[in-house]
Structure 1
Amino acid sequence: MRIAFCHPDLGLGGAERLIVDAATELASSGQEVDVWTAFHDRGRCFAETVDGPFSVTVAGSWFPRSIGSRLTALCAYIRCTLVAISLAWSAWRRSRTYDIIFVDQVSVVIPVLRLLTGAQILFYCHYPDYLLAGKRGRLHTAYRAPLNWLEETTTGQAHCILVNSCFTQGIFKQAFQRLDARGLQPQVLHPAIQLPPTDTLVPVGQPLPGPSSPDNPFDADLHAWLAESPLIFLSINRFERKKNVGLAVHALHALLSSLPRPSGDASSTQLSRARLVLAGGYDSRLAENREHFAELQGLVQELHLQGQVRLVPSCTDAQKWALLRACTAVLYTPEGEHFGIVPLEAMACCRPVVAVASGGPLETVVSGQTGYLCPPRSAEFAEAMALLAAPKTARQMGQKAREHVEARFSRKAFGTRLLGIMQGLDAERQKKLTQRNRKKAA
């Protein structure tokens, strides 16, 4: 099959990781795959988008992402429509007909692609966009009203709709009531990850590679800081307020504040040396990234945690995996997260996860076995962190976490299921073409 992906911004987020995984698995199975996007920075992207088994084409990047830091959604719709038109024009000019086009995030391009390409359109709904936008007053409500109507209407025009979790499936039903009244129910296709080879896994508590080791992607200062502590907690999220990263900072403060002072107890001494790394995607073009990063720096100073918290913006893929191998456990703080790929990445590296008990983590983290699910409160997070301070506990949970991910969330299983769905769509397309040709012949 010839398959195209139409995606708005090929950066370093969870949605982009899913696109890269899907494109890689489909190409590896022998399909011809092209990815089209409005933005791709070769210096800040997943490695597969530079040297992977599929092409990446940028179109529509000349149109602004926002106008006066406003109208972001409208601009995204226009940019992605320009991508869709370019995709269709290129396919026509090169006589390269696509069988399936995979669309995500921006559904407005679906009728455009149906009209201009004749391909079967598969839409992957990470989460309804209008729910992400929220409500900000009457003017914003009036601005969003036609966009919200357009989102539901165009989503319903896809030949197949997938969602990333049972949680999102339920939200989809509530959010798109007109589609639900039509009996339209999306299928669940959980995102997945490429499992690190077992010979690269590092037991909890093992020393970091030396500062000059090729396996060490950190600068000397960060490497030394990490090496000083036997207990490192890690948060990986984009620097956005909705990710609730401040909860991790407050949890560390609650953990340290609960310790008896002074104490010669070994476990208390270990906890007193606990450190927290806040790593993740940081895009200097986005005002919220800049503002929230500064807010977190201010929170660290306010709680007097400068020596025990480090912020690592624009974390590279190599740094992320090295941090996962270096940490004791991962703190996952978003509330109502649609799915969340970070808990899977942590568990694949044999690291237990402490996550908010809502949304996607309810489907990925087995509380008490592969980590802990907690209310979004610092005290409960701190209690779970204290339990994981025991290396034996962290190692045992980490091993169960790895087995859990291997069984349910491998990228190979994801790719096989996606390919089966696409083959069904292609068979349907071929059937319609045959019927049309018979009518013409008659």
Structure 2
Amino acid sequence: VSFPIPILRLINSKVLFYCHYPDKLLSTQRSSSIMRFYRFFLDTFEELTTGMAQTIVVNSGFTQQVFLDNFPIIGASKSKKSDEVVKQDGLLIASHMPRILYPPINLKVFEKSENYSSQKIEDLLEGKITPGKTHVLTSLNRYERKKNIPLALKAFANFLERTSQKTGKAESEIDATLVVAGGWDPRVEENVGHEKELRQLAKELGITAKMVFLKSISNDQRLMLLENTNVLLYTPENEHFGIVPVEAMHMGCIVMACNSGGPLESVANGETGFLNPPKPDLWGEKIFGLLEASPDPERVKKMQAAAKKRVKDNFVMDVFASNLDKYVQEMQPLSGFNYMAGTILFFMSVAWGVLMSCKVLLFGA
């Protein structure tokens, strides 16, 4: 939330603002003229107040471009060089390109706990796998339609079909399992409804017997699942960053993701995983090539090692802290009363009073 920034500017505090995604894009309920009027003020003040931060950082290059596209005032005033520190005594002092600061994972979280090591993966996956033998493919997302989980089911069905054609085995005899796991809340209508849709799709594709649905698993179960996963199927498109592929690479999974959004930066195509258009046939072909058509254990080991190194070099707490410290140290000291900050606060107060008055008149207290 950027609205407190003018207050901090009034007292000449250095402000570093971490934008995970513009709020204006997360608020999509704009069907009525009243809501559009309401959001116009909020969106405008979001941009103006965000631009008053001395340094702006974002969680990926994808978010950086979205930020600049949707904040035209900041975008128009940005420096052409992303690493140039700009000192400016006007309304917008964040006139440089927003810096990229990738979210980290805490490696200590991935150390085995007693609960993690005591539960058997066979029990978690309902006896549908033989550890070290069964190909385990995992989709790890919340049960939400925007996560595009049907892509994983269709790709898995395509993989089974290709494997059946090569080996002559019935699809039911192929030693492979797809796990769909993620956040699920019985109070959230979409979670409940989408789970039913996925189960129905699995039935239509004839893969129900080869699937396991897990809901709201614990962190220990999550780690155990990743440790036993061969291929992570990360299906969301245009994800802001996506921490799951990073966690999976650290755990030795081969990541298959859409060629858009954050995975373009976290996954090295062909080296630590594969980036593809969201086409089930293409995903099925890639999975088949990796696991069945021409399996190459040495190649897999090299990809796993490269994935772990990529995570260690770019996405761990020490790297995050070092880059954050660098950006903070580069911030210039401020002095004197900031009249622009005072002006923005005044107009924000007036606009907020008008909006609240309209709300009371239209909807009551």
Answer with 249-258 or 326-335: which moved more: 249-258
Contact 2:151-2:280 within 8 A present in 1 as well:
yes
**1:412 pairs with 2:318:** yes
AA aligned to 1:189 is L
Aligned 1:45-194 pairs, distance under 5 A: 106-111=1-6, 119-134=13-28, 137=31, 139=33, 141-142=36-37, 144-183=39-78, 184=95, 185-194=97-106
Q: Percent identity?
A: 37
- 2:136 match: 232
Aligned-residue offset at 1:135: 7.2
**1:333 pairs with 2:239:** no
Q: Distance in 1 between matches of 2:7 and 2:121?
A: 45
Aligned-residue offset at 1:232: 0.4
- Computing the radius of gyration from Cα coordinates, the structure with the larger value is 2
Aligned-residue offset at 1:142: 4.9
AA aligned to 1:195 is L
AA aligned to 1:414 is F
Aligned 1:198-347 pairs, distance under 5 A: 214-216=117-119, 220=123, 222=125, 224-227=127-130, 230-261=134-165, 263-264=167-168, 272-347=174-249
Deviations, residues 114-155 of structure 1 (Å, cap 9, x unaligned): 56x874332211122323445764556455433322322232
Aligned-residue offset at 1:262: 8.5
Given the superposition, is the C-alpha separation of residues 214 and 252 from structure 1 closer, same or farther in structure 2, using an over 3 Å criterion?
A: same
Local SS of the residue matching 1:350 = coil
Local SS of the residue matching 2:178 = strand
Q: Distance in 2 between matches of 1:143 and 1:257?
A: 52
Q: Distance in 1 between matches of 2:217 and 2:5?
A: 33
- 1:56 match: none
Deviations, residues 316-373 of structure 1 (Å, cap 9, x unaligned): 2111111110110111111111111111111111211101011111112111111111
Q: Distance in 2 between matches of 1:213 and 1:197?
A: 11
Contact 2:154-2:280 within 8 A present in 1 as well:
yes
Q: Distance in 2 between matches of 1:269 and 1:367?
A: 29
Aligned-residue offset at 1:401: 1.1
Deviations, residues 240-279 of structure 1 (Å, cap 9, x unaligned): 22211111111111212233459357xx989932211111
Contact 1:217-1:319 within 8 A present in 2 as well:
no
AA aligned to 2:303 is M
- 2:301 match: 395
AA aligned to 1:259 is T
Structure with the bigger RCO (C-alpha within 8 Å, sep 6+) is 2
- 1:62 match: none
Contact 1:329-1:394 within 8 A present in 2 as well:
no
Contact 2:59-2:240 within 8 A present in 1 as well:
yes
Deviations, residues 181-210 of structure 1 (Å, cap 9, x unaligned): 23222111111223369997xxxxxxxx9x
Q: Distance in 1 between matches of 2:187 and 2:49?
A: 29
Q: Distance in 2 between matches of 1:150 and 1:403?
A: 42
Q: Distance in 1 between matches of 2:324 and 2:173?
A: 44
Local SS of the residue matching 1:190 = coil
Contact 2:15-2:54 within 8 A present in 1 as well:
yes
AA aligned to 1:254 is N
- 1:363 match: 265
Q: Distance in 2 between matches of 1:145 and 1:175?
A: 13
Given the superposition, is the C-alpha separation of residues 108 and 388 from structure 1 closer, same or farther in structure 2, using an over 3 Å criterion?
A: farther
Q: Distance in 2 between matches of 1:262 and 1:408?
A: 40
- 2:83 match: none
Aligned-residue offset at 1:172: 1.1
- 1:9 match: none
- TM-score, L = length of structure 1: 0.63
- TM-score, L = length of structure 2: 0.75
Contact 2:250-2:308 within 8 A present in 1 as well:
yes
Q: Distance in 1 between matches of 2:5 and 2:187?
A: 28
Contact 1:256-1:271 within 8 A present in 2 as well:
no
Given the superposition, is the C-alpha separation of residues 302 and 107 from structure 1 closer, same or farther in structure 2, using an over 3 Å criterion?
A: farther
Q: Distance in 2 between matches of 1:361 and 1:157?
A: 30
- 1:72 match: none
Local SS of the residue matching 1:224 = coil
Contact 1:353-1:372 within 8 A present in 2 as well:
yes
RMSD (Å) for aligned C-alpha atoms: 3.2
AA aligned to 1:127 is Y
- 2:354 match: none
Q: Distance in 2 between matches of 1:272 and 1:358?
A: 31
